[in-house]
Amino acid sequence: MEEKIIYGVTALFDSPNNLVKAVKSVNEAGYRKYDVHTSYPIHGMPKAMKLKPSKLAYFALAFGLTGTTLAFLFITWTMSIDYKLVIGGKPFFALPAFIPVIFEVTVLLASIGTVLTMLFYFFKFPNNKHPLHDTEYMQKVSGDGFGICIEAKDNNFDEEKIKSFLSNIGGLNVTSIFYDSVELNHKNKVFEPKFIGFLILVFILISGATYFSLNKLIYMPPFTWMHDQNRLDAQESSVMFGDGFGMRPPVDGTVARNQMPYPYSGHPELALNLVNPSAPTKENYELGKKKFDIYCSPCHGYFGKGDGRLNNQFITPPSLQSEKIRNWKDGQIFHVITEGQNSMPSYAKQILPEERWAIVDYVRVIQRAMNAKEEDIK
Amino acid sequence: MTNNNLNFGYEKKPVPGYFLKMGAILAGIGIILIILSLFVDPVRSSFNSLIMFAFMISIALGSIFLIALEYIAGAVWSVPFRRVLEGIGLIIFVVPIFAIPVLLNIHTLFSWTHPEVIATDSILKNKAPYLNTTFFYVRLVAFFALWFLFYYLFTSNSKKQDATGNQALTKRNIKLAAAFLPVFAITISLTAIDWLMALSPHWFSTIFAVYYFAGSVLAALSIWAIISITLNENGILVKGLKSDHYYSFGALLFAFINFWAYIAFSQFMLIWYANLPEETFWYIARGTGSWMYFSIGMIVVHFIVPYIFLLPQPAKMDPKRVKWAAIWILFAHFYDLYWIVMPTLDKNGLSVSWMDFAYLIFGIGLIFVVFSLWSKNRNLVPIGDPKMKQSMEFEL
């Protein structure tokens, strides 16, 4: 191997106090590029080394503020803009309820960001080669030693001078440390295929293990006790009743709330006497048009001409525009809607009485529209 | 252990003369303003006296709590400053003076003291076994007796140690601290309930005592930091106190600012979320009209400003900056108590008057007068404390 390149000179001290004293003399001697290694933090060391406060705090602040902003924007967007839900009668933008979430995200991002910055930026992870590794010095300071290492980067570096200097201030085992060839050619390894492949492998393993354990190993079916209750659902058959139906018809003579039974069932001649109770309001005509279009127009057509959408597929109904129907009383039309006629079934179940009257009014409207008189134009 | 006091290089020096002068002038101005205020608006004056009672008692109780905390936690950094804390804690004997104007106006301040109000109010009727004047006075006397007792025991042991350096006295104070802390927890909670929460006797908040505790510790820490740093600037405390020692003042102030904000927000958010009328009216009173701006101002004054100011590490280690932060926080504590008490009086909105500061000026002055008189024939550093040597070598 060709000429070795020096990394630095190390020395060991037997107690933390002596190390602190040594650091002070190293500082006084004008050396700046040096580091100390101990197996636990020593109080007063940062001051003895004249360390500036770590820059890590600024990263923590930046990540924390990022977390605050992101959480605030995200929760505001989801809760107040994109998917508004009324929760406990609070306003959509309920800042007090957001604050715990914002706080948590701030702490989370600050701590994760700080750890990752420390690893990847300050510790240069995943680079794991360092000249001090696998030396006797590192073994010692990982146990009961207190060491100092003056690096060759220092402007005043002179191997022999530093060796004697360190011995003079009480350093033991003064040794020079040299670079390995690997360490000399070291470059940033974050984008190395090996490292990225490793990350992908870890990702696959962890997500796979999570999926397997949660969805297979300890999978529990979601609880269904609210859905599966000991009662009959609509349309289910029952063994309890003779006819096998689960749903029971109302008792004979039952009258729905707020509904009067139609008094002239089977007596169209009496329906002539019915009086149309509806008022000629805009709302009433609109209701009539709506109901007519839904229930009547499929067969009778939008203008009652008997040309509905089911024309030729079904029995063609008579026109509502005929002379006969135009001369019917309101009560007669009402009766037909209620009871049905010929092929037309009863619509009493689908259409409420007041809606039927509204339809009658609307039928009058389209009749008049198709047979307008001269005076209507004025 | 033998008495090796002189190792610390402590020499007894008098506190600066302006402590007494400034204190006396402030107290004098305060007295004049208080008497004036009694003629101008006795009702307002009584509310101000209640704020100041709560303010003074929070400083006194907070100080005794911090003494106990040092013993029970085995804290090292605070030992050179403990005697200052004992001097501030002495105002526990002065606090009853501030109770007098409150008790004279008890019927103006507290609606639950009127039998005719209780008779027509079923809620107050149910609370009457606790909230009645007899039991109120019993609690007052019993609590002060307990506080006097513990203060006396702590400080007399500490004083004896100056002469003998007897380690057993520290051990005795540690046991005393263990006994005091539960007593402190109960008494400060009930004090907060009796004097502040009972202003709106229908209102209740289970976290309110913790809220008052957070403010108390902040107030005691602040005045402790102000006096300790001023004394050390004048070279009156022992030589060799470094930024490492001040760091803990800064860090504790910062921690309790956060703790206060956490508790204050918890109280607000739980009441806001539950939305029960028997709790929300207290916040509605503080959240409508000009009181709303005062409430928002409190978030800024009591949390945002000191938080940002004390956030960087250098700020916590610089005695000058810690002192400014402490002065600010002491004012913020007054602001906080004003916010708790005054909406009961100024129902139509915030109206600050010169009267509101009369008791504050008097109280601050009195603290300095009491402290300088007390310091005349005392060591300002507990030179006999066995942790003293360790503390002088304290490094972060």
Residue of chain A whose alpha carbon sits nearest to that of B262: A100
The interface predicted TM-score of the complex, written ipTM, equals 0.84
Residues A197 and A64 in one domain: no
Residue pair B202/B313 in contact (Cβ under 8 Å)? The answer is no
Q: What is the mean pLDDT of residues A59-83?
A: 95
Gap between the Cα atoms of A348 and B320, Å rounded: 89
Q: How far is B228 from chain A (nearest CA, A)?
A: 23
Helices (H) and strands (E) in chain A, counts: 15, 4
- Residue B203 CB: number of other CB atoms within 10 A? 17
3-state secondary structure B196-217: CHHHCCCCCCCCHHHHHHHHHH
Domain ranges of chain B: 15-392
pLDDT at A3: 67
Same domain, A158 and A44: yes
Determine contact, residues B260/B337, Cβ cutoff 8 Å: no
Residue B396: its chain A contacts at CB < 8 A?
43-44, 46-47
The tokens 């007494």 sit on which residue? Answer: B20
Q: What CATH number does the domain containing A335 carry?
A: 1.10.760.10
pLDDT of residue A49: 87
A273-319 confidence digits (pLDDT tens): 888 888 888 899 999 999 999 998 888 889 888 888 887 787 788 88
Considering the domain architecture, whether residues A195 and A344 belong to the same structural domain is answered as no
- B-chain residues within 8 Å CB-CB of A88? 273, 275
Does residue A238 lie in a domain region? no
Which of A47, A65, A86 to mutate: most B Cβ within 10 Å? A47
pLDDT, tens digit, for every residue of A90-106? 999 999 999 999 999 99
Reported for A111-114, long-range contacts at CB under 8 A and 24+ positions apart, including other chains, are A112/A63, A113/A59, A113/A60, A113/A62, A113/A63, A113/A64, A113/A66, A113/A67, A114/A56, A114/A59, A114/A60, A114/A63
Least confident range of A112-121, A201-210, A228-237: A228-237
Can you give the pTM of this predicted structure?
0.76
Chain A residues at the B interface, defined by Cβ less than 8 Å, are 43-44, 46-47, 53, 57, 88-90, 96-97, 99-100
Looking at CA atoms only, how far is residue A77 from chain B in angstroms?
21
Tell me the average pLDDT across A237-256: 85
- Report the pLDDT value the prediction gives residue B1, as an integer from 0 to 100: 38
* Closest to B261 in 3D by CA, of B192, B311, B211: B211
Residues of B in contact with A52 (CB under 8 A): none
Contact A57 B269 (CB under 8 A): no
B263-268 — which CB contacts under 8 Å span 24+ positions? Answer: B263/B207, B263/B210, B263/B211, B263/B214, B264/B211, B264/B214, B264/B302, B264/B303, B265/A96, B265/A99, B266/B207, B267/B205, B267/B207, B267/B208, B267/B211, B268/A96
Residue-wise burial string across A152-182, b where 16 or more C-beta atoms lie within 10 A, e elsewhere: bebeebeeeebbebbeebebeebbebebbee
Are A129 and A195 contained in the same domain?
Answer: no
> For residue A208, what are the domain limits?
191-225
> Alpha-carbon distance B208 to B200, whole Å?
13
Three-state DSSP at B43 gives helix
A201/A285 same-domain check:
no
Least Cα separation, residue B312 to chain A (angstroms): 9
For residue range A319-372, what is the model confidence (pLDDT) as tens digits? 888 888 888 888 888 999 998 888 888 898 888 888 999 999 999 898 888 888
Please tell me the distance from the alpha carbon of residue A221 to that of residue A215, in angstroms, as a whole number: 10
Mean pLDDT throughout A227-243? 84
* Domain termination residue (choose one: A157, A184, A211): A184
Peptide bond into B115 cis (omega under 30): no
Rounded to whole angstroms, the Cα distance separating B323 from B227 reads 9
Contact A134, A179 (CB under 8 A): no
Average pLDDT estimate for A221-246: 85
Judge: B269–A44 Cβ closer than 8 Å, yes or no. Answer: no
Tell me: do A211 and A108 sit in the same domain.
no
Helix (H, G, I), strand (E, B) or coil at A361: helix
Closest residue, chain B, to A46 (C-alpha): B396
Judge: B273–A46 Cβ closer than 8 Å, yes or no. Answer: no
Report pLDDT for B4: 47
Token reading at B350: 């915030």
Given an 8 Å threshold on Cβ–Cβ distance, is A96 in contact with B273?
A: yes
Does residue A66 come out as left (phi exceeding 0), alpha (psi in the -120 to 50 range) or beta? alpha
In terms of DSSP H, where are the helices of chain B?
17-40, 42-73, 82-89, 95-104, 106-109, 115-119, 122-127, 133-164, 167-195, 208-233, 243-274, 277-287, 290-299, 305-310, 313-317, 319-341, 358-375, 388-392
Q: Which residue of B has its CA nearest to A41?
A: B396
Q: How far apart, in whole angstroms, are the C-alpha atoms of residue A150 and residue A168?
A: 15
Q: How far is A33 from chain B (nearest CA, A)?
A: 23
Considering A201, A225, A249, which residue would you say is the last residue of a domain? A225
What does the block give as tokens for B168?
A: 């057993």
Query: Which chain B residues touch A if contact means CB-CB below 8 Å?
Result: 265, 268-269, 272-273, 275, 312-314, 395-396
A258: left (phi over 0), alpha (psi -120 to 50) or beta: left
| Residues of chain B contacting residue A99, judged by C-beta atoms under 8 Å apart | 265, 269
Mean pLDDT over A117-130 rounds to 85
Say yes or no: A180 and A81 in one domain.
Answer: yes
* CA–CA distance, A100 with A106 (Å, rounded to integer): 10
Q: Which residues of chain A neighbour B272 with C-beta distances below 8 Å?
A: 96
Residues A353 and A303 in one domain: yes
Q: Is residue A132 part of a domain?
A: yes
Picking from A159, A184, A209, the residue at the C-terminal end of a domain is A184
Residue B7 confidence (pLDDT): 55
Residue A186's pLDDT is what? 65
SS (H, E, C) A37-57: ECCCCCCCHHHHCCCCCCCHH
State how far residue A44 is from chain B, nearest Cα, in angstroms: 5
Residues of chain B where predicted confidence (pLDDT) is lower than 70:
1-8
The per-residue pLDDT for range A154-190, each reduced to its tens digit, is 888 888 888 888 888 888 888 888 887 777 766 777 7
Q: Which of A44, A97, A99 minimises the CB distance to B395?
A: A44
Mean pLDDT to the nearest integer, A45-74: 91
Q: Are B353 and B53 in contact (CB under 8 A)?
A: no
Are A326 and A303 members of one domain? Answer: yes
Residue A260 dihedral angles phi and psi, to the nearest 5°: -100, 135
Q: What is the mean pLDDT of chain A?
A: 87
Q: What is the DSSP string of B273-305?
A: HH--HHHHHHHHHHHSTHHHHHHHHHHIIIIIH
Q: How many structural domains compose chain A?
A: 3
Tell me: pLDDT of A89 over 70.
yes
Q: How many CB pairs under 8 A join A and B?
A: 25
